[in-house]
Structure 1
Amino acid sequence: MGLKIKKISGGYVGNTVLKDVSFEVANGEIVALIGLNGAGKSTTINHIIGELQPQQGTLVLNDVSLSQQPTAFKSQIAYIPEQPILYDELTLGEHLHLMLSAHMIDNTLTWSRVLELLKIFRLEDKLQWLPTHFSKGMRQKVMLVSAFMLNAPLLIVDEPFLGLDTLAQKDVVRLIREQSEKGNSVLMTTHLLASAAKFVDRFVVLRDGKVSFSGTPTALADAHGLTLDSLDDFFDLMQEATDET
């Protein structure tokens, strides 16, 4: 099971960004959706989380259809956006309780997990802080705690390393791997391909709103004459190919 995207076309009013996009993220699999800016990564994510309605195609998560059972579909997702979204009037603790209440899991057992995550990201003494006191990196850590505490069947992470220090990046990788080991699906976007190649199972490449490649990190490197350590050069190759067309 897991996430199945079949022949999705869509985008915004007057602008079709995605064109017949199909790929899957199996249970326990970590997939990185990559491509140049404007390739359709954010548009794809917005369709998965239900912010955009596809012009055609289907999205199914663990046999639940987004179009037929939108609430049940979305309840299976934990989403970490590229830019943190926090309420200025709520403390960190209030943010976390609100999220847990929305998912109807605000209990002692779950809060124990929250406290573990807060300690990992060095936020355990910030429960009474308002967002105005948080740095950009701290705001991102709040979003990470909010998502990982849910143990959702599908975790979507848009640029997980943005604004994080090296230690926090390592923590994120470990937590993503833990999600996979639990059998949850993970879909992420990143521009740090060499780093992602160390833990993702598969890359899905978008180019001009279409899937141009799907395969292991080794397969992607081999297809373009690169090594895993030089995979960050892949975007230079994509840009060169775009400039030539």
Structure 2
Amino acid sequence: MILEIDDLVGGYSRVPVLKKVSFKVEEGQLVGLIGLNGAGKSTTINHVIGLLHPFSGTIKVGGKQLKDDAEGYKAQIAYIPETPILYDELTLREHLALTIRAYQMDEQAAWQRAQRLLKMFRLDNKLDWFPVDFSKGMRQKVMIVAAFMTEAKLLVVDEPFYGLDPLAVHDLLNLIQEKKEQGVGILMSTHVLDTAQRYCDRFVLLADGKVKTQGTLAELTAGGQTLDEVYLNLARDEQHG
């Protein structure tokens, strides 16, 4: 089990946003985290990547907890945020070099992986560009390259499709499949349900900081509903709750 969340209570102040959230991500599994805005998806992700500390409950990545082994915990995670985060004063080449040092990767092997990704996303001739030169889509591709060049056991991907052209979306989905085949666990937050329905192995539906339901597509749609209908019914129940 690469990610285990048990009875997680947490948030940004002393008022809990998450209320006893529990779910797992296994090796080689893509889990879709879905829910309305404000349901708790970003709060869950921020706890997983270590930006927030639980009020109670546990989060384990590869069997490690942040409070016991922060370095060992974070070294297993690569994160692609919804809004790209780049350093204005660093070139693309310097961003990737920083990633290599941060994850203590073998430099030659890491650059080989990076070169393949750069070519795939048509960034291989832009290594000396600064973030100011990149469009939003190109910035997102930089984040994808930096995350996928690592050998992290857990990929946390927050709304990855916004700003990407159709070819880049296709390439990203192929990369996700590759990582799954390598045994990497992936937690992906997304509103793009038709894509999630085709690619995710399991789903966790959040509403009001709670896991309302979780399971495979077959389990969630056993009543004859589509995933869209399950999601919309959840949304209506939350609004009328």
TM range (shorter): over 0.9
Distance change (3 Å), C-alpha of 1:233 and 1:137 = farther
Amino acid at match of 2:173: V
Amino acid at match of 2:18: L
1:48 partnered with 2:44: no
1:236 partnered with 2:232: yes
Equivalent residue for 1:15? 15
1:226 partnered with 2:222: no
TM-score under structure 2 length normalisation: 0.96
| Aligned residues between the structures | 241
- Classify the secondary structure of the residue corresponding to 2:124: coil
Deviation at 1:236, TM superposition (A): 2.8
Equivalent residue for 1:86? 86
CA distance in 1, matches of 2:12, 2:208: 15
Deviation at 1:207, TM superposition (A): 1.1
Amino acid at match of 2:67: S
Equivalent residue for 1:159? 159
CA distance in 2, matches of 1:220, 1:175: 26
Contact kept, 8 Å, 1:192 with 1:232, in 2: the verdict is no
Amino acid at match of 2:86: L
- Classify the secondary structure of the residue corresponding to 2:51: coil
Equivalent residue for 2:77? 77
Amino acid at match of 2:107: N
CA distance in 2, matches of 1:137, 1:165: 7
Contact kept, 8 Å, 1:97 with 1:106, in 2: the verdict is no
Q: Any stretches of 5+ residues in structure 1 without a counterpart?
A: none
Aligned-residue CA RMSD (Å): 1.2
Equivalent residue for 1:179? 179
Q: Any stretches of 5+ residues in structure 2 without a counterpart?
A: none
CA deviations 1:80-127 (Å, max 9, x no partner) are 000000011111111110111111115111101100000111111000
- Classify the secondary structure of the residue corresponding to 2:160: coil
Contact kept, 8 Å, 1:25 with 1:187, in 2: the verdict is yes
CA distance in 2, matches of 1:221, 1:88: 45
- Classify the secondary structure of the residue corresponding to 1:33: strand
Deviation at 1:5, TM superposition (A): 0.6
Contact kept, 8 Å, 1:59 with 1:67, in 2: the verdict is no
Contact kept, 8 Å, 2:206 with 2:213, in 1: the verdict is yes
Deviation at 1:200, TM superposition (A): 0.9
TM-score under structure 1 length normalisation: 0.95
- Classify the secondary structure of the residue corresponding to 2:199: coil
CA distance in 1, matches of 2:236, 2:214: 20
